[in-house]
Chain A
Amino acid sequence: MRILTDVNIDWLRWRWHSLALSWLIILSGLGLIIARGMPLGIDFTGGTALVVQFETDVPLEQVRSAIEALPGEEVVQQFDDPSKRQVLVRLAQVETSEDGTSLERGSLQVAEALQRAGLPKFEIISRDLVGAVIGDDLQRKGIYATLASLVGIMAYISFRFRFSFGIGAMVASIHDVLITLSLLTFFGYELSLNVVAAILTLVGYGVNDQIVIFDRVRENLRAHRNEPMNVVINKSVNQTLPRTVITAGTTALAVLSLYLFGGVVLEPFAFAMLVGVITSTYSTVFIASAVAVLLSPQQRNAGVVQARGAAGKPGGKPSRRAKAS
């Protein structure tokens, strides 16, 4: 069985449309982030998050009114399946002082307030207390790690292929990250450690797609020295299309399973991955190749049939290595 063989789509023709679409999503996402603020989880802001398990059913409203009087902003949510009677209670960081007792204060206040309100017996089955220092630390580290892996991957692709491909890959990855952040904000997920892990992973994953196509571009450039870059890129995207679609499909299936069965803790992670897998496939086809074409010397002479291909040019050393294999 084969799907999508011998397709001949002029992908690059759509690059301005796709660019417009991406900008639309990213700008509306950024607008939302600016308007509402990026919802950061307590991993990054510091604060208290408790999962309380009640012995008998309690309406969320009652829990909410029980802790309403506590200082700062409170969030009360159903945690996991309602039949488990677990409620997530979250408090923002109010205290900036960081001695041992104040870290615990929020948690103790909640327990006390619930007891006072005469709610059924409960047990705190999970307790996350994050001090502001750690939150700032993780925020900084998360940004560094994302930037560093973007740059690291770009450097690797530039070394193995050519600089324009490296830039193309980086632009596409930044695009993926921004789209994912936009959609996360849109669907009301907050940025936690796990979500940042998902974003870093999808940077690596998206690059997979790009490398497969760039690899084919390099091969085709060598085989068809007379064709201009945009023709070669279109051809390469078309040739690898079955693989691109099947891989994206199977990965999406696996991640979907994570989303459906992985439990509440992994749900935001799975959501980010799901968005990322779809976005990165799209951005490889439309964004990475378009940028690579824009930056390639051949593009300047598009239409003019070039006598000498690019195989021997900037990416010379890696090409030889690939040939030797």
Chain B
Amino acid sequence: MNKNLRWRVVVILAVIALSVWAFYPPGQKISLGLDLKGGVHLVLRVQTDDALKLETETTVERLRDTLTRGSVAFTKLEALDSTSFIVEGIQDDQGFRTAAVEPDAVFNRASGAGRYTYTMRPNIAQQLRSEAVTQALQTIERRVNELGVAEPIVARQGGVDQILVQLPGVSDVQRAKDIIRSTALLELKFVEQGPFSSEDDARKAYNNTLPPDMLIVPGSADGGAAAGAPATMYYVVRRASVVTGRDLRNARPTLDENNLPAVGFSLNQDGARKFGTATEQNIGRQLAIILDNRVFSAPVVQSRISDEGRISGAFTQQEAQDLSLVLRSGALPASLTYLEERTVGPSLGADSIRSGVMASIGGMVLVLIFMLFYYRLAGLNALTSIVVNLLILLGMMAYIGAVMTLPGFAGFILTIGIGVDSNVLIFERIKEELAAAKSVKAAIAAGFDRVWWTIVDTHIASLIAAAFLFQFGTGPIRGFATTLAIGLAANVFTAIFVSRTMFEIVLTRRRAATMSI
């Protein structure tokens, strides 16, 4: 063996050793996709309109405040849709404009006789939407992490407002879905009047014209949103919140005074200061604890409270736990809808693994038997390069953390097919060269040299297809594309480098005049 050849053998052995080291033991190093392990794949849409609506409504409320305080008269001020609002009946145009500077940063203003229409600037709307998705993504990530799922995936997908969530091995899919989706908007507001037994009654208490700074919120008379609770009651509360979920520092399951599961929360410094002042000034009044627009309880403020509070409402232990989880992870900036759900039970996954492995082994055995039969000793060569190819494929997959999916098994089989193709291409060429009465050594050299660019071209063409496949696909299809792409790359190495080295080793051993091919 000459020095050059020896180096090549070292390189090959090193690659094999590295690959095996990368994926051994395969049970730990190669992660299985949802279709094999079982679990749930979800695609959600963030209703980004919600975020715009919130911004518009907040602006309207602030403007109302400003105008009232500045004694600027107007007859009507209301949101038209999620991105625009209107002010009507302005007498003092100059006074209005000096007072209402705040909306101008976010809204474009169009004027008419005594009225102004505000429309959100498109670039700001765009930015708000994008922020809402990012915020939702982070919130979902926190919630999923707290769920304690191993190797979850939370990522943006496809359209700008879509989020992909993959939870491998989750058994209670419904619970996971509920936790991810719950808005968890916590608001603490003072009760003005109530509870009333119907919305109409509540309105009647204000002669059917509810003051603009008040709000009717449904809830239960005495906490208890669960079954068996009294009928829905209606509270009239202040529109402005004392504190919201943003002011939370922590939330955890606890027990209330009746020893029933409840959720205790504590406020951060800023929240505690606001809360302390507000409760001090409103001792004796009811404070509504509102979660996702529903009053859970409305306890009477007994004394100044600074940073601790409790939400009780006929929870089960599990509900209390889940509620503290979503409160801790923060509110979602917008509501979510599910666009896609794919759930695979673990038993089906196990079945798939069995058939996938069977098919891969079956395919490999069939092909290799043919190769050994047709190419004799050279077939052994092909066998080696295919086995090395599969080892590298496994090693690379473990290294980059690619996921094994059922279509991934198909990728393995196709890799075998491509590996065989390269070998056939080379062997047939060598045969042709031998038939043209070249020496064994020259025939091998010519075979490999002539075929090199063909193999490069075919592989690049297949890689182009694999790249688009990856781009297009979701979960399992991506697994297939990844497997295929790695297999293609590994194949260039094994079919050319490994196979040629083996031929040349045999050549140095004996000065062969014929070869078994």
A2, A80, A211, A273 — most chain B CB neighbours (10 Å): A211
Stretch of A11-19, A64-72, A140-148, A300-308 at the chain-chain interface: A140-148
Interface pair B468/A128, CB less than 8 Å apart: no
A134 within 8 A of partner (CB) = yes
B442 within 8 A of partner (CB) = no
A98 within 8 A of partner (CB) = yes
In residues 369-428 of chain B, which contact A (Cβ within 8 Å)?
A: 370-371, 374-376, 406-407, 409-410, 413-414, 416-418, 420-421, 424-425, 428
Interface pair A270/B464, CB less than 8 Å apart: no
**Least CB distance, A135 to chain B, in whole angstroms:** 9
Residues on B with C-beta less than 8 A from A261 are 355, 358-359, 362
Taking a contact as CB atoms closer than 8 A, the residue among B338, B339, B345, B406 that contacts A123 in the complex is B345
Interface pair A212/B454, CB less than 8 Å apart: yes
Chain B, residue nearest A212 (CB) = B454
A9 within 8 A of partner (CB) = no
User: With A51-B348, A126-B348 given, is the CB distance from A247 to B421 under 8 Å?
Assistant: yes
A285 within 8 A of partner (CB) = no
A178 within 8 A of partner (CB) = no
Taking a contact as CB atoms closer than 8 A, the residue among B355, B374, B453, B473 that contacts A263 in the complex is B355
Residues on A with C-beta less than 8 A from B454 are 211-212, 215
Chain B, residue nearest A323 (CB) = B453
Interface pair B407/A128, CB less than 8 Å apart: no
Q: A-facing mask of B185-203, CB < 8 A → 1, else 0?
A: 0000000000000000000
Interface pair B343/A126, CB less than 8 Å apart: yes
User: With A80-B351, A142-B472, A262-B409 given, is the CB distance from A207 to B424 under 8 Å?
Assistant: no
Residues on B with C-beta less than 8 A from A270 are 410
A interface residues, tally (CB under 8 Å): 79
Interface pair B414/A266, CB less than 8 Å apart: no
Interface pair A145/B471, CB less than 8 Å apart: yes
**Least CB distance, B348 to chain A, in whole angstroms:** 5
Residues on A with C-beta less than 8 A from B424 are 243, 246-247, 250
Interface pair A243/B339, CB less than 8 Å apart: no
Residues on A with C-beta less than 8 A from B131 are none
B508 within 8 A of partner (CB) = no
In residues 204-231 of chain A, which contact B (Cβ within 8 Å)?
A: 204-205, 207-208, 211-212, 215, 219
User: With A103-B339, A246-B428, A250-B371 given, is the CB distance from A204 to B417 under 8 Å?
Assistant: no
A296 within 8 A of partner (CB) = no
Q: A-facing mask of B438-472, CB < 8 A → 1, else 0?
A: 00000000000110111001101111111111011
Interface pair B339/A212, CB less than 8 Å apart: no
In the bound complex, how far is the Cα of B84 from the Cα of A232, in angstroms?
Answer: 71
**Least CB distance, A196 to chain B, in whole angstroms:** 8
Interface pair A153/B461, CB less than 8 Å apart: yes
Residues on A with C-beta less than 8 A from B342 are 127-130
User: With A200-B469, A207-B458 given, is the CB distance from A253 to B343 under 8 Å?
Assistant: no
Q: A-facing mask of B24-35, CB < 8 A → 1, else 0?
A: 000000000001
User: With A145-B468, A215-B453 given, is the CB distance from A125 to B363 under 8 Å?
Assistant: no
A278 within 8 A of partner (CB) = no
A83 within 8 A of partner (CB) = no
Interface pair A257/B362, CB less than 8 Å apart: yes
Residues on A with C-beta less than 8 A from B360 are 257
Interface pair B359/A156, CB less than 8 Å apart: no
**Least CB distance, A96 to chain B, in whole angstroms:** 13
B159 within 8 A of partner (CB) = yes
A99 within 8 A of partner (CB) = yes
A286 within 8 A of partner (CB) = no
Majority SS of interface residues in chain B? Answer: helix
User: With A145-B472, A193-B474, A258-B363 given, is the CB distance from A127 to B343 under 8 Å?
Assistant: yes
B238 within 8 A of partner (CB) = no
B367 within 8 A of partner (CB) = yes
In residues 227-284 of chain A, which contact B (Cβ within 8 Å)?
A: 239-240, 242-243, 246-247, 249-251, 253-258, 260-263, 265-266, 269-270, 273
Interface pair B469/A263, CB less than 8 Å apart: no
User: With A153-B464, A211-B458, A266-B355 given, is the CB distance from A197 to B345 under 8 Å?
Assistant: no
Interface pair B420/A250, CB less than 8 Å apart: yes
Interface pair A131/B465, CB less than 8 Å apart: no
B340 within 8 A of partner (CB) = yes
Residues on B with C-beta less than 8 A from A134 are 43, 339-340
Interface pair A149/B341, CB less than 8 Å apart: no
User: With A251-B421, A260-B362 given, is the CB distance from A266 to B428 under 8 Å?
Assistant: no
Interface pair A127/B406, CB less than 8 Å apart: no
User: With A144-B472, A253-B366 given, is the CB distance from A266 to B477 under 8 Å?
Assistant: no
In the bound complex, how far is the Cα of B374 from the Cα of A249, in angstroms?
Answer: 12
Interface pair B458/A212, CB less than 8 Å apart: yes
In the bound complex, how far is the Cα of B460 from the Cα of A80, in angstroms?
Answer: 37
A1 within 8 A of partner (CB) = yes
**Least CB distance, B6 to chain A, in whole angstroms:** 25
User: With A1-B374, A129-B342, A257-B413 given, is the CB distance from A157 to B461 under 8 Å?
Assistant: yes
Interface pair B457/A160, CB less than 8 Å apart: yes
Interface pair B345/A126, CB less than 8 Å apart: yes
**Least CB distance, A275 to chain B, in whole angstroms:** 15
A51, A129, A149, A160 — most chain B CB neighbours (10 Å): A149
Interface pair B477/A133, CB less than 8 Å apart: no
A201 within 8 A of partner (CB) = yes
A100 within 8 A of partner (CB) = yes
Interface pair B461/A207, CB less than 8 Å apart: yes
Residues on A with C-beta less than 8 A from B341 are 103-104, 127-129
Residues on A with C-beta less than 8 A from B407 are 194, 197, 266, 269
A152, A207, A208 — most chain B CB neighbours (10 Å): A208
In the bound complex, how far is the Cα of B35 from the Cα of A97, in angstroms?
Answer: 28
In residues 1-56 of chain A, which contact B (Cβ within 8 Å)?
A: 1-2, 5, 51, 53
Interface pair A193/B356, CB less than 8 Å apart: no
Would you list the 10 A-B pairs with minimal beta carbon distance, nearest first?
A: A204-B465, A263-B355, A145-B472, A257-B363, A125-B345, A254-B363, A257-B362, A204-B462, A251-B417, A262-B359
The 11 listed contacts between A and B (C-beta, < 8 Å) are A1-B374, A123-B345, A193-B477, A194-B407, A200-B468, A200-B472, A249-B370, A257-B413, A266-B355, A266-B406, A269-B407
Contact surface of B with A, Cβ cutoff 8 Å: 35, 43, 45, 158-159, 177, 181, 336-345, 347-348, 351-352, 354-356, 358-360, 362-364, 366-367, 370-371, 374-376, 406-407, 409-410, 413-414, 416-418, 420-421, 424-425, 428, 431-432, 435, 449-450, 452-454, 457-458, 460-469, 471-474, 476-477, 480-481, 484
Given pairs A201-B480, A251-B421, 6 additional interface contacts (CB within 8 A): A128-B342, A128-B343, A197-B481, A215-B454, A242-B431, A261-B362
